[in-house]
C-alpha cells in the first residue's frame, strides 16, 4: 500500500505480519512477542546492531510490537532514507539470524520486560492480561500473551525457525508506505528490494471462536503492589469485521459512558458520587477497536478509593446501561460522542507511521486498507438507536469480571 503525503519530508514504512499472541502454540505462551525480539537480531547480511545503526544514523526511529492478532515492524525516517529502510525490512523478511545465543539473550530481555511492566508494577497486566482468562475458555483467547517464565525458558531454536517459516511468509505480510515519496519511484524501490523475497503462502489461520457467556464469570486476585482496589468488567461485542454496522455502536457506547468528564460514568462515579478515582472504557483488550478480530469485548475498568465497594460500582454501571437502553441518549449527547470518536481516529491516523501500520493491518484482516478514508464517515453515521440497542445487550449474566484486591502498595 502506498499512501503519499507530501506535507512533511518524512516517510513511514510498516511491515505487518498476520500473526499475534492468539496464534502462538500451547505451551509456548509469549512466543509471538519473543519472536518479535528475534527479528531485531540481525541477518545473514547484517549484524544485530545494523538496523538501529542505519535507521538512527539517518535521523530516524524504528520499533516493533506484538498484538493479539498481528505483529508489526515500523520505521520513520527522513524521506531521503526511504530506500535504506526498504532494504532493511526486505532483508529480515528473507530471514533473520536465528542462533541459540540470540534466543537465550532475548528470552532474558523479555523476562525483564515482564518484571518491569507486569510483576514489578502496581496493577501490572490489569485488565488486559487478567481479564481474558476469566472471560474465555480456549487457550488462544485466554492465555497470557506476555508469557510465563517456564514457557519462555523452554523455548528452543528449532521452534523459532519453524515459527518464522510458518508465519513470516511473504504471503502472510503486508507492506505499507506513508509520507513524502513519489508513488512510482517508491513502487520501483519496493520491487527492487522485495521482488526476490521467496514466495511462501500464508498459513491457515487458527479458529478463535468462543461461545457467548450465559452467566457472569468472576475472579479476584491480590496485587501486593497495589495501594487501592480496582475492578474491571467485559462483555462480548459483535464481530468487528463481519458485522461492522453492529459493532460500531459499542464503540459509541464506551465513549458515551467514559470518554471525558461529561461522560455518564465519569460524571456520576468520579465527580458526583466519588465512588471511583478514575473510570475508563474501550473496545478491545489492547484498546485497538479496529485492529482486532473476533472474539473481542467492551471493557470497563475503574480504580476505587480505599474501602471502595466494587459491587456498588458495577451496580451503577448496570443502572446507567439500563437508563441508556430505556431512555436513550439525551439531546446533544450523540453529537458529542460522534465528534470524540472521529477526532480520536483522525488523531491516531495522523502520524505517518500510525497510518502505515493501520493500512497494513486493515489489508491483512479486512482486505480493505481504504477503511482509512471511510472510518470517520462510518463513525459519524452511528445512530442513537444503535447505541440504545448496544446498551440493552450488556447484561450482568453476559459479563466477565475481575477484582484487584490491594496488597498495601508494596509496604
Instruction: Check which CATH number belongs to the domain holding 170 and give it.
Output: 3.30.830.10
Per-residue pLDDT at 126 exceeds 90: yes
Residue found under cell 497470557: 144
The mean pLDDT value of the chain amounts to 96
Domain extent for 46: 2-194
> pLDDT tens for residues 73-119?
999 999 999 999 999 999 999 999 999 999 999 999 999 999 999 99
The reply to whether 204 falls in a domain is: no
Domain boundary among 163, 194, 225: 194
Q: Which three cell numbers stand for residue 124?
A: 501490572
Confidence class for position 260, pLDDT limits 50, 70, 90: very high
- Give a yes or no: residue 201 inside a domain: no
Let me know whether 28 and 114 are in one domain: yes
DSSP for 148-187, please give it. Answer: -HHHHHH--HHHHHHHHHHHS-GGGEEEEEEES--HHHHH
pLDDT at 363 over 50: yes
Q: Indicate if 166 and 256 belong to the same structural domain.
A: no
Residue 255 located in a structural domain: yes
- Whether residue 215 contacts residue 131, with contact meaning beta carbons closer than 8 Å, is answered with no
Asked if 94 and 190 sit in the same domain, the reply is yes
Given this model, what pLDDT does residue 410 score? 45
Residue 206: the pLDDT is: 86
3-class DSSP string for 262-296: CCHHHHHHHHHCCCCCEEEEEECCCCCCCCCCCCC
**pLDDT exceeds cutoff 80 at 381:** yes
Helix (H, G, I), strand (E, B) or coil at 211: coil
Judgement on whether residues 185 and 61 belong to the same structural domain of the protein: yes
Q: Based on the domain organization, do 259 and 186 belong to the same domain?
A: no
Residue range 128-163, pLDDT digits in tens = 999 999 999 999 999 999 999 999 999 999 999 999
Q: What is the mean pLDDT of residues 329-336?
A: 96
284 lies in the same domain as 233: yes
Of residues 318 and 207, which shows the higher confidence score?
A: 318
> Which of 194, 226, 257 is the endpoint of a domain?
194
Q: Is residue 135 part of a domain?
A: yes
Give the separation between CA 252 and CA 185, rounded to whole angstroms.
Answer: 41
Does residue 206 form part of some domain? no
The pLDDT assigned to 411 comes to: 43
Name the domain count of the chain. Answer: 2
Asked if residue 37 is part of any domain, the answer here is yes
- Structural domain includes residue 180: yes
Whether 405 has a pLDDT exceeding 90, the answer reads yes
Sequence-ordered list of residues with C-beta below 8 angstroms from that of 384, at least 6 positions apart, any chain = 328, 329, 334
Cell numbers placing 331:
439531546
Judge whether 211 lies within some domain.
no
pLDDT single digits (tens) 240-250: 999 999 999 99
Is 19 in the same domain as 145?
yes
Average pLDDT over residues 267-292: 97
Amino acid at each position: 500500500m502506498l499512501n503519499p503525503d507530501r506535507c512533511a519530508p518524512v516517510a513511514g514504512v510498516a511491515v505487518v505480519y498476520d500473526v499475534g499472541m492468539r496464534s502462538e502454540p500451547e505451551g509456548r505462551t509469549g512466543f509471538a512477542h519473543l519472536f518479535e525480539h528475534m527479528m531485531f537480531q540481525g541477518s545473514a547480511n547484517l549484524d544485530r546492531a545494523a538496523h538501529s545503526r542505519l535507521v538512527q544514523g539517518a535521523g530516524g526511529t524504528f520499533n516493533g510490537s506484538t498484538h493479539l492478532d498481528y505483529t508489526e515492524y515500523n520505521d520513520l525516517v527522513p524521506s531521503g532514507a526511504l530506500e535504506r529502510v526498504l532494504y532493511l525490512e526486505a532483508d529480515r523478511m528473507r530471514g533473520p539470524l536465528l542462533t541459540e545465543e540470540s534466543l537465550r539473550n532475548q528470552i532474558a530481555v523479555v523476562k525483564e520486560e515482564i518484571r518491569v511492566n507486569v510483576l514489578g508494577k502496581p496493577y501490572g497486566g490489569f485488565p488486559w492480561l487478567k481479564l481474558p482468562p476469566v472471560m474465555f475458555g480456549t487457550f488462544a483467547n485466554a492465555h497470557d500473551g506476555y508469557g510465563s517464565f517456564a514457557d519462555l525458558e523452554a523455548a528452543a531454536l528449532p521452534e523459532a525457525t519453524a515459527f518464522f517459516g510458518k508465519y513470516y511468509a511473504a504471503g502472510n505480510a503486508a507492506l505499507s508506505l506513508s509520507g513524502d515519496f513519489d508513488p512510482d519511484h517508491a513502487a520501483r524501490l519496493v520491487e527492487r528490494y522485495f521482488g526476490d523475497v521467496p514466495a511462501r503462502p500464508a498459513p491457515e489461520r487458527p479458529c478463535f471462536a468462543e461461545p457467548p457467556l450465559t452467566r457472569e464469570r468472576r475472579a479476584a486476585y491480590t496485587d501486593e503492589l497495589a495501594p487501592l482496589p480496582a475492578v474491571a468488567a467485559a462483555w462480548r461485542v459483535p464481530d468487528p469485521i463481519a458485522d461492522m454496522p453492529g459493532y460500531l455502536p459499542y464503540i459509541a457506547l464506551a465513549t458515551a459512558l467514559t470518554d471525558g468528564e461529561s461522560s455518564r460514568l465519569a460524571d456520576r462515579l468520579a465527580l458526583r458520587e466519588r465512588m471511583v478515582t478514575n473510570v475508563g472504557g474501550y473496545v478491545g483488550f489492547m484498546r485497538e477497536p479496529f485492529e482486532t478480530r473476533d472474539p473481542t469485548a467492551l471493557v470497563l475498568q475503574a480504580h476505587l478509593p480505599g474501602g471502595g465497594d466494587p459491587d456498588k460500582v458495577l451496580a451503577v454501571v448496570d443502572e446507567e446501561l439500563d437508563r441508556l437502553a430505556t431512555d436513550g441518549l439525551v439531546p446533544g449527547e450523540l453529537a458529542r460522542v460522534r465528534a470524540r470518536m472521529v477526532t480520536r481516529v483522525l488523531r491516531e491516523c495522523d502520524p505517518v507511521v500510525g497510518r502505515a501500520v493501520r493500512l497494513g493491518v486493515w489489508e491483512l484482516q479486512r482486505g480493505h486498507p481504504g477503511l482509512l478514508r471511510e472510518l470517520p464517515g462510518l463513525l459519524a453515521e452511528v445512530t442513537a438507536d444503535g447505541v440504545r440497542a448496544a446498551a440493552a445487550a450488556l447484561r450482568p449474566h453476559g459479563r466477565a469480571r475481575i477484582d484487584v484486591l490491594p496488597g498495601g502498595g508494596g509496604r
